[in-house]
A and B are shown apart, each in its own frame.
Chain A
């Protein structure tokens, strides 16, 4: 399949068959052998470097839970690749849902889009930076944690030391205020 050499394929297949029989030692060898491959695979598909290790762990859990679906007469590589791809897709879908759920619609269409565009390649534009600086500190922190640092609401709330609901409210107000400030600038 391109990412498992013939030797590695044969070794992994043997370990997997032994693992299905309950051989923990073979299983540990298998998982250790797979880790660098999985890191490369996941790293090429998950945009946030900070999430790669989490997704790799999810792939390992999926391998563990789906191990009964592997058939010894079939190659191991395509099976592993499908399990890894499904885990990555699950992550990307949940990330997408999280982003959509956590942003109010108008903010998602407006401010968040601008923030995402502005922050990725070249940092914040002066207009956006000055608008952000004019926000009350709580709202600014919420917007920065979620939109610029890309944290989930739960993580951002932990970082800010508030409840997730409170952080969402702050972020919502922040988006609305930012929209107002940016619209004001455009009118000028």
Chain B
């Protein structure tokens, strides 16, 4: 062994402190899923529990496509982010990314196509204000999941911190959007696209960017 490496091994071993391992992926996901349920309860409380969204779901395939797509983006994004923060979880990362991509395609392409060519296209006037309210609500509902997901990524050891942060934020945003979509009574293609899909996803992605500074400084602090 070369002398500097020998010294390094000795100093690492002598300065060793006990560490608390990161919680397992499944437990983290279950926790975030629980937060999603809390957000759903909160949204129902805020907007009033109504059966109308379920009636919409049964009569509009676009509504269902968007909902399933958002759910896939939420689960896939969070799986990819949480697995990406732990070395050696490549398969889980790839599965999460694939699920996220498929979900985004389903919500944006298939859902959008069905909505804009179906009866929803001529529905209620797509007031930008209503879309803004839904997008903001989706982001607000996704915040608890985002805090947990981003916190996990910052605590972990991601090979690609920015990609993990983006995936976590978009997954949490999609979770909030999923809940918003379930509780919204509007039947309008443009409203769904702007307020339930694109607004929350892009908003969440933008919110993730400042966290990269935290990720960098955290890594530097641990390296010091």
A residues near B, CB below 8 A? Answer: 19-25, 27-28, 31-32, 35, 53, 56-57, 60-62, 64-75, 78-83, 86, 89
CA distance A27 to B8 in the complex (A): 12
Cβ–Cβ contact B87 & A31, under 8 A = no
Write out the residue numbers on chain B whose beta carbons fall within 8 Å of the beta carbon of A61.
8, 12, 223
- Top 10 closest pairs, chain A to chain B, by CB: A22-B18, A82-B87, A28-B13, A66-B157, A78-B88, A79-B88, A68-B19, A82-B88, A24-B16, A86-B159
Q: Which residues of B contact A86 (CB under 8 A)?
A: 87, 157, 159
Task: Determine whether the beta carbon of B16 is less than 8 Å from that of A31.
Answer: no
| Interface size class, chain B | 20 to 34
Question: Given the complex of chains A and B, what is the CA–CA distance between A69 and B4 in angstroms?
Answer: 26
Apart from the given pairs A62-B157, A68-B20, A81-B88, 18 other A-B contacts in the complex at a CB distance below 8 Å: A20-B18, A20-B19, A24-B16, A27-B13, A28-B9, A28-B13, A35-B5, A64-B12, A67-B19, A68-B19, A69-B21, A71-B22, A71-B86, A74-B88, A75-B88, A78-B88, A79-B87, A83-B157
Set of chain A residues within 8 Å of B55, measured between Cβ atoms: none
Q: Is B24 an interface residue (CB 8 A)?
A: yes
Q: How far is the CA of A22 from the CA of B19 in the complex (A)?
A: 7
Q: List residues of chain B with CB under 8 Å of any chain A CB.
A: 1-2, 4-5, 8-10, 12-14, 16-22, 24, 85-90, 155-157, 159, 222-223
Assembled-state Cα–Cα distance A4/B9 (Å): 20
The answer to whether A89 and B159 have CB atoms under 8 Å apart is yes
Are B12 and A72 neighbours in the complex by a CB distance under 8 Å? no
Residues on the B chain within 8 Å of A24, using CB: 13-14, 16
Let me know if A69 and B156 touch, CB within 8 A. yes
- When distances are taken between beta carbons in the complex, the residues of chain B under 8 Å from A57 are 4-5, 8
- For B16, give the chain A residue with the smallest CB separation: A24
Q: List 23 A-B contacts (CB under 8 A).
A: A19-B16, A20-B21, A21-B18, A23-B16, A24-B16, A25-B13, A27-B12, A28-B13, A32-B1, A35-B1, A53-B2, A61-B12, A61-B223, A65-B222, A66-B87, A68-B19, A69-B21, A69-B157, A71-B21, A71-B22, A79-B87, A80-B88, A86-B159
A170 to B10, CA, bound (A): 41
Give the one of A31, A61, A64, A80 with max B CB within 10 A. Answer: A64
B12 CB contacts on chain A under 8 angstroms: 27-28, 31, 60-61, 64
Q: Are A68 and B159 in contact (CB under 8 A)?
A: no
**Does the CB pair B1–A69 fall under 8 Å?**
no
B183–chain A nearest beta-carbon distance, Å = 37
Name the residue in A27, A69, A80 with the highest tally of chain B Cβ atoms < 10 Å from its Cβ.
A69
| A135–B18 alpha-carbon span in the complex (Å) | 58
Question: Contact between A60 and B8 (Cβ–Cβ < 8 Å)?
Answer: yes
